[in-house]
Structure 1
Amino acid sequence: MGFWQHLAVSYDKNADALKKTYPLSTTSISNNNDIIAVILIDGDGNFVGYDKIEKKKKPTRKDPGNPLVNITIPTSEESLKRTSTSIIPYPMFDQYGYFKGLPGKYPRNLSVLSNHLNFIQDHEKKIKKSKKSSTYYKLWKNYKNRVEKLKRSWEKLETYLEQLESFAKSSFATEQVKAIYKYISKRKVATDLKDMKLKDNVNVVFQVEIPGNQQTKVWEEDTFFSAWHQYYFSVKNSLKSLDYITGKKEPAATFHPKKISSVSANAKLISGNDKTNYTFRGKFSEPSEAVSIGYNASQKAHQFLRYLINDRGCGCGEQVILSFTIGSMEKLLAPPIEDESILAVLKGSSVKTESDIQIDLRAETGFDYADALRSSLGGFGHSQALKQHAKTAVIALDAVSDKSGRLSITFYRELDRNEYLERVADWHSSIKWHQKFWEKVDEKYVPYIGAPSVDKIIEAVYGKPRGGKDESYTKIKKAARERLLRCVFDGAFLPKDYVVAAIRRAANPLAIKRNGKFDRNGYEQIASTVCALVRKDFKQRNEEDYKLSIELDRTGRDYLYGRLLGAADKLEEYALYKKDNPRVVTAAIRHMQAFVQRPFRTWQTIHGCLNPYIQTVKGGFAFNEIQAVMNQFTTGDYEKDTPLNGSYLIGYYHERAYIDSLVKAAAEKK
C-alpha cells in the first residue's frame, strides 16, 4: 500500500494548492469532442441567457482555432460507473439529455406514460401475431421507440432532480446550488435552450449571477466543490470499514475513479468488487471482506496522481512515466527519462555551474552537459524546503489501449532523494557522447556532450515510425522505455539486443534518408547515439572505457579499422568539396556495410575509389592520417578479415572529429 499511501499523504500536505484545480469527489469534462453549453441564471433560479464554449479546433493560417478547455465537475461513485444503458446522473453538471425532460404536451406523471407504453406494446404484439403488413408493424414499433425515449428523458430529469434536491436542502448547500435546483425544478431547460439545438450528449454547466459575488462560474468555485464532497461524504459516513491506507475505520470506496490519465480515459487502477467482472467470490462471501480502501483516501490518491500525470508525465501512447518527491509538489527533479536536451533541465535549475556566457562560448566545441548536470543535481539534493532524507518515487503506468478498463503500474521504485539524483546523474555521465540539439530560439544546432535522449536511442535501435498512428511502433517504444528505466534506476546492463541492433543500423548509412536522398546530418545523429551505447556497453561488460576524443595510442584492430574508414570518408568529402561536387555519398559510406563484415577485403575497394582524389588532397590531414593509422596495426591484425565489433564506429567518429580539429587549428594559425 506504500504507493497509495504516498499519494494520499502528498495530497494532504498540498491540499491548499490542489483544492481549486484537483478537488475531491470530482472528474472533468472538456470541449474536445463537442461544445459545452453554459446556462446563465440569477440567484433566484431565473433564466438569464445562455452561452457556449466552442469545440476545440486546431489553429490554421486563416482560423485561430479554439483551445482545449477542461472543466471540473462534481461526481459520485455511482455516476462514475454509469454506462449508456444506465440512468445515474452526475450531481450538478451533466449532459443535455438529463435536463431536457418532456415537451409540454406530454404527461408529467410517469405512471401515465408507462400505461401509454404498455398499451402500445400490447397492440404491437397483436399486430405482429395477425401478420398484417410489415409497414403497419414498423409504424407501431417506431412509435413505441419514440415513447420509450420520452420515458427515458422523463426518468433522467426526475432522477437528477431527486438527487439535486437532497443536496440543495442539506446544510452543505451553497447559494449557487440552491439557485440551480430552483431553476431545474421549473423543467424549462429544453424551452430555454431550443435555439441552440443541442444533442443529448452535449455537456451543460451553470453560471450563477449572485449580487455581491464576482465569481459567477460555478465550476471555478472551490467552496462549491468542497460543499459537495462534505455532503457526499456525510451520506456515505454510515457505511464504514477498515481503510487499508490509513488503518482507520472509514467509509469505503465502492467504485474507484477513472479518467486518471487523459491518454487512457476509461482505464482504472483499482477495480471495484462485483459479482460479474472482477469478483470477490471464491474466498469471500461479501465484497466488504476483501481489501478495502477508504473513500477519502482513494479520492486523495487518485487526484494527486492526476495532478502528477498532467504536470510532469512523459507519455507514449497510453504509457506515462514520471517521478516525484513524496509529499511535495516541487518540479525541480530531473525527469527519469529525459526526452529533450539536458539543457532544458539546467535552464530550469536555480543551481548553475557555468554562467550563460560560458555555456555559449563552450557550445562551439561541445559543452559537457553531463558533468554540469551532476553538479546541478547536487544542488537539488540539498533543498532547504525538504528533509534531508526525502523519498522520491519513479512510476510507469500503462493501459492496453485508450478504451481499456485497466490501467497498470508497470514500474515502481522508491529511492532516497539523493540516491535518485545520483542515479540520474550516473546515467547521463556513463552514456554521454557528442550530441546536437536544435535550439529553436536561435534556429541552429548546438553541440553538447551528454546522454542521447530515450527517443534517440529507440530510433537508433528500431528506426522511425512509419508515420501516422503506428501502433506497433508505439508498443515497441513503450517496452523500450521501461527497459531503459531499469538501466537508469536498477543499474541493469544495456540490453545486448539493443546494442547489436543499433550497431547493425549504423553500419547501413544509406538507409538513413531524407526526401529520398542520403541524410548526412541524420546519420551523424544516429552514429552519435550508437557510439554512446557502444561506449557504455564496453564499460559495463568488458570494463573498458573509451574516451570522448581520439585515442592515438589505442591499437585495437576494430578501432583502427574504424579510424581508417573515417579518414577515407573525410578525404573524399574534402576532395568533392574542392571540386564543387555536391555529391555527399562517399565510398566509405557506400561500402560501410560490407566493410564491417570484411574490413580487409573491402578496404582495398574503398582505397581504390580514393585514387582519383589522392592527387587533389595529397599531403592533407586525411591523407596523412591514413598512412599513420596503417602503421599502427599490430602484426597480423590488418590482414584479418573477420567482422568488426562496435568499437569501429567509435574509431570512425573519433577520426572524423580529429581531422576537423586539425583543419580548424591550422586555419586559426593563418
Structure 2
Amino acid sequence: MSWLLNLYKTYELNADRVGEFEEYSSDQNYTLLPIAHTTQQIQVEVVVNEKGDFLSAQVVDENDATTIIPCTEDSFSRTSAPVPHPLHDSLQYVAGDYEQFVQPYKKGKNLYQDYINQLGEWASSSFAHKKIIAIYSYVRKGTLIHDLVQEGVLHVDQNQKLISKWKNSFGEKPDIFKVINETQEKAYVRFDVHLSNEVNTKVWKDKDVFDSFINYYKSTLSEREKDICYVSGSVLPKTEKHSSKIRHAADRAKLISSNDSINFTYKGRFKEPNEAANISYDVSQKAHQALKWLIQKQGEKIDQRVFLVWGNDETKVAAPQKDTLSFFHDLGIQNPADFLSEDRTHEGFAKKVNQALAGYKKDLKYNQKSEVNILVLDSATSGRMAVVYYRNLQKEKYLENIESWHKSCSWLHRYKNEDKKIIEFIRAPALKEIAQAAYGPNVKKEVQKGLVERLLPCIIERRNIPLDIIRSVYNRASNPVSMETWQWEQTLSIACALMRKQYEKEEYNVSLDLKNTHRDYLFGRLLAIADVLERKALSDDSKRATNAIRYMNAFARHPARTWEIIQANLQPYQARLGDKAIYFNRLIDEVGSKIRFEDFNNKPLSGIYLLGFYSQRYELYNYKSNNNKNEGDEKHETFAK
C-alpha cells in the first residue's frame, strides 16, 4: 500500500494545483482533478443566465473538448447500467424532450427523470452553488434539444427527429457531425452560466463549483459505514468502487477491483472484499487522481506499460530510463547538446554531471529527507491493471544511483544534427536505445517494454546488467554487415557503453589506453588498424565494407585464425598506400608484439575487444597533435604529413 500512500501524499502536497490546467502538447492540456470528478470529451456547450433562461449554444472545438465533470461512484463506473452524472452528461440524460426528438427510452426507464432528481437534490442542498441552481432551473424546463435545434447546433429531418447520419446530398456537413463519431443523440453537453456584473469563470473550471459538489457528495457518504483505511490508518467512509481511466480517457483497467465475486479474487480467504483491502473513498480518489495527473504530466508509455518517476514534494524528477541529454534537460539545463559538445573525456563528462546535480539540488531547494517513487504499471487484460515494479528511495540515494549510471555507462556517441553535421558527445544511452541495440530498430513494443523494466533496477538499485542483454548487444555490434553503417555505429557505441559498465572496475575510457595489455583489448586494436588501413586505401566514395568489417563476426569467435585471413587480405591495400602504409605496418607490429604467445589463440573474445576496437579506430580517425604527446605521437605526425 506504500505506493497508494505516496500518491495520496502527493495529492495533498499539490492540492493548490487542483483544476489548474497545464499544457503538455500543442493542443492538449492536463490538470490535477478534484476528487469526485472525472474528465469527458464534450461536443455541445449550452450557456444560460442566472435565472435559468437559455442564452446560446455552440459546438465545442475538439481542442477544447476535455471537460472536468462531477461524478458519483456509480456514474463513474457505469457501463451498460443507466446511471446519470450529476451535472454534465449526454443528451439522453439531460434533455427533457429526448423522447420527442429521438425515441422512447428503452424498457420504460426515464433517464432524464433520474438525472433531474439527482441534480435537484444537489441544487436544493445547503452546499448548492448559484450556478448549479441556475442550470437546474433551465434543465427542468425540458426544452434542451428544442433550443439546440433552434440555435442550429443540432439538426432534424422532415419528421422533426434528430438526423442519425449526415448524407452528402443534404449539403455541407454541419459542425456537430465533424466532432462526433456517433449519432447526434450520443452528444455530450456541458453547461455554463453567465452572471451579470461578475467575472465569469467557466463552470467546469470554477473551483467553487468543484467544492460545492465535493462537500455535497461527502455529506451523502457520511451515512455510509466507516472502517479503518489500510492506507491512511484513519476511520473513514469506505469504498469498493475504484477509479479507472488511469493511463488515458478510454482506459477501463483498474488497479483495485473486487467486483468478481464468482471466482477466487478474494473468496476462499475472505468473506467480504473489504477484508482483503479496505481503502477509504477519500484516499482512493486522491491517490488515483494524483496518479492520472502524474502520468499525463511526466509518465512515459511503451505499448500499454507506463513508467513513472515522481517526488512527493517536487513532482518533477529526472527519469532513469532516459539518456544523458534528456537527463540534463530534466534538471533544467536549456541546451544540453552545447553543454556536452566540447567534452571529449569521461573525466570532463563526470564533472558536468556533478555540476548538473549540484545545480538541481540548489534550484529545487533540495531536501535530503524528500523521497522519489518509481512506479511501473501494465495491464494483462482490458479490465485489470497491475503494479509491475515499485521502489521508494530517499532522493539523495536516488540521485547518487542516477549519477553512478550516467558516469559508468557513458561512451562517445556520434549523431547527425538537423544541419546534417556530425556531432559527438559522451553520454549514457536511453533504455529504449539499448533495447534497439539488443534486438534491432524494429523491436516489438512487448519486447522493448520488458527490457526497459529489467534494466530499471540496474540504475535504481545498481544491479548488474543482465548477461543476455549484454550478449545480444555484443553479437549485433560484432556483426556490422547485417545492418546499415550508421545503425552499426550507434549499436557499437551503445555496446561500448554497456561493456564499460560491465567492466566498471577497470575504468575503460574512449581515449586509447596504450598501456593496456589485455589480450582482447589488443585484438580489438589490431582489427581497428586493419579497418582504417584498408579504408584509407579505398577511394573516398567507396561504400564497400573493409575486410576487417566483413570478418568481424568471425574474428570475435576465432581471433587468431581470422586475423591470418584479414592480414593476408591487407597486402594489396598496403601496396596501394606505399610509404603511407609504413605507420600502419609499424603499429600492427607494435600492438601484435604486446600479445603474449600463449594468448594468441582462437579463444572467443569478450566485449573488451569492442572497447579496444572503438578507441583505436577513434584515435586513428580523430588524432590531432598537442603539446602533451603520448607514445606514438611522432608516428602520427609523420603519417599526417
The one-letter amino acid of 1:6's match is: N
* Partner Cα separation in structure 1 for residue 281 and residue 485 of structure 2: 58
Aligned residues of 1:7 and 1:301 also touching (Cα < 8 A): yes
* Partner Cα separation in structure 1 for residue 200 and residue 296 of structure 2: 26
Paired residue for 2:476? 505
Cα offset, 1:397, TM superposition = 1.4
Deviation string 1:246-282 (CA, Å, 9 cap, x unpaired) is: 2222111231111121287111111145634675544
Cα offset, 1:37, TM superposition = 1.5
Aligned residues of 1:370 and 1:450 also touching (Cα < 8 A): no
The one-letter amino acid of 2:300's match is: C
Paired residue for 1:474? 445
* Partner Cα separation in structure 2 for residue 637 and residue 16 of structure 1: 68
Aligned residues of 1:371 and 1:429 also touching (Cα < 8 A): no
Extract unaligned runs of 5+ from structure 2.
Answer: 21-30, 156-182, 627-635
The one-letter amino acid of 1:53's match is: V
> What does 1:366-385 correspond to in 2, within 5 Å?
368-381=348-361, 385=365
Aligned residues of 2:414 and 2:425 also touching (Cα < 8 A): yes
Cα offset, 1:496, TM superposition = 0.5
* Partner Cα separation in structure 1 for residue 147 and residue 82 of structure 2: 23
Aligned residues of 1:564 and 1:626 also touching (Cα < 8 A): yes
> What does 1:436-585 correspond to in 2, within 5 Å?
436=414, 439=417, 444-465=421-442, 473-512=444-483, 519-539=484-504, 543-576=505-538, 579-585=539-545
Between the aligned residues of both structures, percent identity stands at: 32
Does residue 417 in structure 1 map to residue 372 in structure 2? no
Paired residue for 1:587? 547
Extract unaligned runs of 5+ from structure 1.
Answer: 56-66, 107-145, 467-472, 513-518
What root-mean-square deviation, in Å, do the aligned CA atoms of Structure 1 and Structure 2 show?
3.0
Aligned residues of 1:256 and 1:272 also touching (Cα < 8 A): no
Aligned residues of 2:39 and 2:249 also touching (Cα < 8 A): no
Aligned residues of 1:100 and 1:157 also touching (Cα < 8 A): yes
Cα offset, 1:362, TM superposition = 1.4
* Partner Cα separation in structure 2 for residue 6 and residue 398 of structure 1: 19
Aligned residues of 2:341 and 2:423 also touching (Cα < 8 A): no
Deviation string 1:547-590 (CA, Å, 9 cap, x unpaired) is: 332121222222222111111111122222xx343324222222
> What does 1:172-321 correspond to in 2, within 5 Å?
172-194=127-149, 195=152, 196-197=154-155, 198-239=183-224, 240-262=226-248, 265-272=251-258, 275-276=261-262, 280-321=266-307
Paired residue for 2:44? 37
* Partner Cα separation in structure 1 for residue 56 and residue 481 of structure 2: 65
Q: Secondary structure at the match of 1:636?
A: helix
Aligned residues of 1:370 and 1:449 also touching (Cα < 8 A): no
Q: Secondary structure at the match of 2:114?
A: helix
* Partner Cα separation in structure 1 for residue 513 and residue 124 of structure 2: 82
Q: Secondary structure at the match of 2:599?
A: coil
Deviation string 1:502-545 (CA, Å, 9 cap, x unpaired) is: 11111111221xxxxxx222211100001111222233xxx544
Cα offset, 1:170, TM superposition = 1.1
Aligned residues of 2:94 and 2:116 also touching (Cα < 8 A): no
User: May I ask how many residue pairs the two structures share in their alignment?
Assistant: 587
Cα offset, 1:641, TM superposition = 2.2
Deviation string 1:301-334 (CA, Å, 9 cap, x unpaired) is: 11111221111112211111222222x1342x32
Aligned residues of 1:274 and 1:287 also touching (Cα < 8 A): no
Paired residue for 2:77? 81
Which deviates the most, 481-490 or 18-27?
18-27
Aligned residues of 1:101 and 1:153 also touching (Cα < 8 A): no
Paired residue for 2:608? 647
Which deviates the most, 270-279 or 306-315?
270-279
The 1:42/1:521 distance shift into structure 2, 3 A limit, reads same
The 1:419/1:667 distance shift into structure 2, 3 A limit, reads same
Paired residue for 2:25? none
Deviation string 1:155-206 (CA, Å, 9 cap, x unpaired) is: 2211111111111111212122112212211222222233424533332212
* Partner Cα separation in structure 1 for residue 124 and residue 264 of structure 2: 37
Paired residue for 2:328? 346
Which deviates the most, 259-268 or 270-279?
270-279
Aligned residues of 2:96 and 2:141 also touching (Cα < 8 A): no
Q: Secondary structure at the match of 1:582?
A: coil
Paired residue for 1:610? 570
Does residue 625 in structure 1 map to residue 587 in structure 2? yes
The one-letter amino acid of 1:532's match is: A
Does residue 337 in structure 1 map to residue 292 in structure 2? no
The one-letter amino acid of 1:25's match is: A
Which deviates the most, 618-627 or 258-267?
618-627
The one-letter amino acid of 1:172's match is: F
Aligned residues of 1:102 and 1:153 also touching (Cα < 8 A): no
Residue among 337, 359, 372 paired with 1:392: 372
The one-letter amino acid of 2:607's match is: G
Does residue 27 in structure 1 map to residue 31 in structure 2? no
Cα offset, 1:18, TM superposition = 2.5
The 1:630/1:392 distance shift into structure 2, 3 A limit, reads same
Aligned residues of 2:95 and 2:139 also touching (Cα < 8 A): no
* Partner Cα separation in structure 1 for residue 66 and residue 420 of structure 2: 33
The one-letter amino acid of 2:387's match is: I
The 1:29/1:104 distance shift into structure 2, 3 A limit, reads closer
Cα offset, 1:40, TM superposition = 2.2
The 1:406/1:278 distance shift into structure 2, 3 A limit, reads farther
> What does 1:41-80 correspond to in 2, within 5 Å?
41-55=48-62, 67=63, 69-80=65-76
* Partner Cα separation in structure 1 for residue 364 and residue 466 of structure 2: 38
Aligned residues of 2:244 and 2:254 also touching (Cα < 8 A): yes
Q: Secondary structure at the match of 2:191?
A: strand
Aligned residues of 2:434 and 2:494 also touching (Cα < 8 A): yes
Cα offset, 1:426, TM superposition = 0.7
Aligned residues of 1:343 and 1:369 also touching (Cα < 8 A): no
Does residue 164 in structure 1 map to residue 119 in structure 2? yes
Does residue 658 in structure 1 map to residue 600 in structure 2? no
Q: Secondary structure at the match of 2:282?
A: helix
Deviation string 1:19-59 (CA, Å, 9 cap, x unpaired) is: 443211111123xxxx621122222222222212234xxxx
The 1:370/1:308 distance shift into structure 2, 3 A limit, reads farther
